[in-house]
Structure 1
Amino acid sequence: MQKIVTLTRHIIEEQRRHPGATGEFTNLINDLAFAIKLISYNTNKAGLLGVLGEAGKTNVQGENVKKLDVFAHETMFRALDHGGHLCVMGSEEEEHPIAIPKQFPIGKYVILFDPLDGSSNIDANVSVGTIFSIYRRVTPDGTPGTLEDLLQPGSSQICAGYVVYGSSTMLVYTTGNGVHGFTLDPSYGEFVLSHPDIKIPSKGKIYSVNESNFDYWDNSIKQYVHYVKQIDEATGRPMNSRYIGSMVSDFHRNLLYGGIFLYPASRRAPQGKLRLAYEANPMAFIIEQAGGKASDGAQRILDIVPEKLHQRTPLFIGSREDVDLVEKFIRGEMP
């Protein structure tokens, strides 16, 4: 009989690598997986459950909030608030840190999440996702967590992952020991290891960028995009343009096939658009563990120390050679 490795089993086997482990992290991941299953069910049934459309409000980012945004955020909070594993949470949908309710115990971990990435596409039945990032707290144990716990550099992450709600629901995560993908088997409601030890090709054929922003970019980015479209067999050009508009979906495809996702700064978004803490950092941890690279164009994403919870950053992420190339354009080293 073929060995079936569930997410729980995989986490337990990882835990055995650490003699001092208490099982608390495993329980946190199990709570997180439960929330993801609920979000997956409601995403797949969205048209039948009456959860499509606008919620009638905007979030801290100034974005229109979808009904599924609200559901996903509340589901993550309610699944994670009571287990005694966390001291504080941070969410794209909340301006301030989310405290653990007073009636529940305080833990030693910190989580940040984007509960429903790409939700502007949900009404068109385009794949969306969830992104999460986990740290150990830096403030004293037994006390409520603070903003300080949330503003850690990405290099301090102990776990990061994302979920794609597509033709199947797939969870991809790393704890710093490789990248592994699990597909939700709906017949018995378990995440099963389907993509062990994912590695991104060192060079890809795909570039993913919103080219409607072309006229707002710096010349270096314009030159790069023009370059990758040119025909040159010696350098494997042209690259193929693939852009869904859901970061999780674009990132996931490029992780498996090779390529680069870029969201540069522009005149409309001088600091970039993507959020450092719960979009760029978790994806950067994953891509580096898979053999790729993530940069803001000048420095490693994981080395940036955030100053604000919802701080934005330019992002260039994917196959190492492709990210190296765009950095050369930014530095003015390409003709």
Structure 2
Amino acid sequence: MTAKTEHDLALPVGVTLDRFIMRSQSAFPYATGELSQLLRDIALAGKIIDREVNKAGLVDVTGAHGTSNIQGENQQKLDVVANIRFIRALKNGGEVCAIISEEDEDILYTGNDKGKYVVAMDPLDGSSNIDVNVSIGTIFSIYRRVTPVGTPATLADFMQGGRKQVGAGYILYGSSTMLVFSTGCGVNGFTYDHSLGEFILSHKNIRCPQDGSIYSINDGYYNSYQPAVQEYLLDSRQRGYSARYIGSLVADFHRNMFKGGIYLYPPTQAEPKGKLRLLYECYPLALIAEQSGAKASDGYGDVLDIEPSALHQRTPFYVGSARMVDDITARL
């Protein structure tokens, strides 16, 4: 057996996020470089949160922060950390003029009125799971502003509707950290290589199976769901479907997109308008779903077609394999 050369022993690095963005820039809706830089800024913030999550058991960043956000939910310490990190990265990047976050009531201004984009985000979805080492994530949505560059952003920049997103995605912090995003030209996934400090293209042109056998829902609210949803759940059990519910929207969505399944968050007696937020949870995941061949519905139509009316607007949400979404919506 001949000795291997240094070249033979070297493993292929693959396509980094930066290289992928440069190669794909011509396919972006606005190929002037700003959107490319904005995606890099989001990736940088994701790397920082990855670091914070991975040392969570060693420093005092787990547990409740002692305050509530605009939703009335108890903030976790990592919610606050993630919110600060993402806001700082977007401000320093220079491409964003304003931000809305799940953690803040009003629009946050970056101080750069010349920025051409606005971002809506849930900086750390499922953060209550961090204490038990369960996957969590970040969700983001990007719009090109409609107000004149050089003036302060307004509500109108965020109220454009889901079809006007120029980019959307999520970062999953789990057994590995993955950045998944779309700019309207398919969906691609990048896995973070800690040894290189780079996101590497690992899942090209992701496609969701048209059907599946997994359903993800909080079964504890069964008695509070409308009869059509209860009927669907009973049928799912009779069909031998697997119930898989992590309690982190990003993690449940990610699994079902790859394996085939449906995530359901219907209205309940306590939350008749649904609980998930339209602008920074449902819109971005609906765009990812549509671009991967899946579907997202509020029970009556496509989520991307819902007309927004408030920054923290809520909606019912059914997302996943197309045939499974069609099945539940046909019953509603």
TM-score, normalised with respect to structure 1? 0.94
- State how far apart, in whole Å, the 2-side matches of 1:28 and 1:152 are: 19
Contact 2:213/2:261, CA 8 A, preserved across alignment: yes
Do residues 109 (structure 1) and 117 (structure 2) align?
A: yes
Contact 1:159/1:173, CA 8 A, preserved across alignment: yes
Contact 2:216/2:245, CA 8 A, preserved across alignment: yes
Q: What is aligned with 2:299?
A: 297
Do residues 71 (structure 1) and 97 (structure 2) align?
A: no
Do residues 126 (structure 1) and 134 (structure 2) align?
A: yes
Do residues 51 (structure 1) and 61 (structure 2) align?
A: yes
Which amino acid is the alignment partner of residue 24 of structure 2? Answer: E
Which amino acid is the alignment partner of residue 119 of structure 1? Answer: S
- State how far apart, in whole Å, the 1-side matches of 2:28 and 2:131 are: 44
Q: Which moved more, 1:21-30 or 1:109-118?
A: 21-30
Cα distance 1:19–1:229, how it changes in 2: closer, same or farther (>3 A)?
Answer: closer
Q: What is aligned with 2:180?
A: 172
Q: What percentage of residue pairs aligned between the two structures are identical?
A: 52
Contact 2:113/2:153, CA 8 A, preserved across alignment: no
3-state SS of the aligned residue for 2:92?
coil
Q: CA deviation at 1:49?
A: 2.0
Q: What is aligned with 1:254?
A: 256
Q: What is aligned with 2:47?
A: 37
- State how far apart, in whole Å, the 2-side matches of 1:50 and 1:185 are: 25
Q: Which moved more, 1:19-28 or 1:159-168?
A: 19-28
Task: List per-residue Cα deviations over 1:64-106 (Å, max 9, x = no partner).
Answer: 10110000000000011133211211100000011112xx452
Residue pairs, 1:79-158, within 5 angstroms: 79-101=89-111, 104=112, 106-158=114-166
Which amino acid is the alignment partner of residue 142 of structure 1? Answer: G
Q: What is aligned with 1:307?
A: 309
Q: CA deviation at 1:20?
A: 6.4
Cα distance 1:74–1:151, how it changes in 2: closer, same or farther (>3 A)?
Answer: same
- Of the three residues 205, 208, 211, the one matched with 1:200 is 208
3-state SS of the aligned residue for 1:48?
coil
Contact 1:87/1:143, CA 8 A, preserved across alignment: no
TM-score, normalised with respect to structure 2? 0.95
Task: List per-residue Cα deviations over 1:298-323 (Å, max 9, x = no partner).
Answer: 01100011100000000000000000
- State how far apart, in whole Å, the 1-side matches of 2:250 and 2:299 are: 20
- State how far apart, in whole Å, the 2-side matches of 1:249 and 1:327 are: 23
The alignment yields a C-alpha RMSD, in angstroms, of 1.3
- State how far apart, in whole Å, the 1-side matches of 2:161 and 2:29 are: 26
Q: CA deviation at 1:128?
A: 0.4
Task: List per-residue Cα deviations over 1:271-301 (Å, max 9, x = no partner).
Answer: 0010000000000000000001000000110
Task: List per-residue Cα deviations over 1:180-208 (Å, max 9, x = no partner).
Answer: 00000000110000010110000011000
- Of the three residues 196, 199, 223, the one matched with 1:191 is 199
- State how far apart, in whole Å, the 2-side matches of 1:197 and 1:24 are: 23
Which amino acid is the alignment partner of residue 270 of structure 1? Answer: P
Q: What is aligned with 2:218?
A: 210
- State how far apart, in whole Å, the 2-side matches of 1:127 and 1:18 are: 30
- State how far apart, in whole Å, the 1-side matches of 2:295 and 2:55 are: 36
3-state SS of the aligned residue for 1:238?
coil
3-state SS of the aligned residue for 1:141?
coil
Q: Structure 2 unaligned segments of length 5 or more: list them.
A: 1-10
- Of the three residues 6, 15, 32, the one matched with 1:5 is 15
Q: What is aligned with 1:234?
A: none
- State how far apart, in whole Å, the 2-side matches of 1:116 and 1:110 are: 18
Contact 2:211/2:260, CA 8 A, preserved across alignment: yes
Q: Structure 1 unaligned segments of length 5 or more: list them.
A: 231-236, 331-335
Q: What is aligned with 2:5?
A: none
- State how far apart, in whole Å, the 1-side matches of 2:29 and 2:284 are: 26
3-state SS of the aligned residue for 2:271?
coil
Do residues 276 (structure 1) and 256 (structure 2) align?
A: no
Q: What is aligned with 1:233?
A: none
The number of equivalent residue pairs is: 322
Q: CA deviation at 1:7?
A: 0.9
- State how far apart, in whole Å, the 2-side matches of 1:131 and 1:292 are: 18
Cα distance 1:110–1:19, how it changes in 2: closer, same or farther (>3 A)?
Answer: closer
